[in-house]
Amino acid sequence: MAESATGFGASAAGRYPSFYGPEGRLVLVDSALEAVSRGSTTIGIKTPQFALLASHIKPARPLMEPTEKVFAIDAHVGATGSGYIGDILSLIDELRLEAQKHRLSFESPIDVGSLAKHLGGYLHNYTIYAVRPQAASVIVAGADQTGVHMYQVDPSGTFFRGAGFAIGQSADSALDAIQRGYSADMTVEQAAQLANKAIETALGERPVVEVGVVTAKEKQFRRL
């Protein structure tokens, strides 16, 4: 049997997973992103004075309490996500662990950018081995010594910094609503109303929403 350039025959090559599709896209990552698009509509809004996170709470079954959707990572950082809730919770634990390791090592709170970069690297590792990528996108928001910051981290490990994000079900419609209503000098109350409106626009119904916020002045993440 003829061997390939890598030294593996055709039968051996068949035992290895097909990471890339015909167009060079990562097949498993695309599947993870599709799972995210079916998750709860989740919003992030940032101004120079604060960052706000909001996530739709889907109706729970009778006698079941709804799942928490907005999480404190450290005193100055919070996060939310969309996708498989088990994967979201796993990534929240990873963020909390990294934040606490930094506090123990340097006796200071971790900056928000380093936290997003760590999560991006953690997720990227799932794309280079034969394992299932985490089916969750996460929005991280916090206030550190350089100001208020917000990042979106996707299953590929790619992370973005910005002032407005929308992930989950009908995210494009929600993001369009944020872009139309966004103002850099809006108040926390106005941002919360905008987040509710964006989620309502995406879903076509009045939603139940969980909200968290961190301000440049207090540098304390709290759920509203």
What are the pLDDT digits (tens) for 12-45? 344 445 577 887 788 889 999 999 999 999 999 9
pLDDT at 88: 97
The closest of 202, 201, 221, 200 to 211, measured between CA atoms, is: 221
Report whether 116 contacts 157 (CB < 8 A): no
Identify the CA nearest to 201 among candidates 224, 223, 165, 169: 169
CA separation for the pair 35, 59 (Å, rounded): 19
For Cα atoms 167, 102, 222, give the angle at the middle one, nearest 5 degrees: 50
Average pLDDT over residues 62-89: 94
The structural domains of the chain, with segments of one domain joined by +, span 18-219
- The model carries a pTM of 0.89
Write down the H helix ranges in 83-208: 85-106, 112-125, 171-181, 188-203
Please give the average per-residue pLDDT across 190-216, as a whole number: 96
Please give the Cα distance from 169 to 36 (Å, whole number).
8
3-state SS of 55-99 is: EECCCCCCCCCCCCCEEEEECCEEEEEEECHHHHHHHHHHHHHHH
> 110-122 burial, b if ≥16 CB within 10 A, otherwise e?
bbbbebbbbbbeb
* 220 SS3 class: coil
Q: Say if domain 18-219 classifies as CATH 3.90.1150.10.
A: no
**pLDDT tens per residue, range 77-114:** 999 999 999 999 999 999 999 999 999 999 999 999 99
pLDDT at 156: 95
**DSSP run (H or E) holding 3:** none
Q: Give the pLDDT of residue 9.
A: 40
| CB distance 178 to 166 below 8 Å | yes
Confidence band of 61 (pLDDT split at 50, 70, 90): confident
The pLDDT of residue 23 is: 79
Rounded to an integer, the average pLDDT of 114-124 is 97
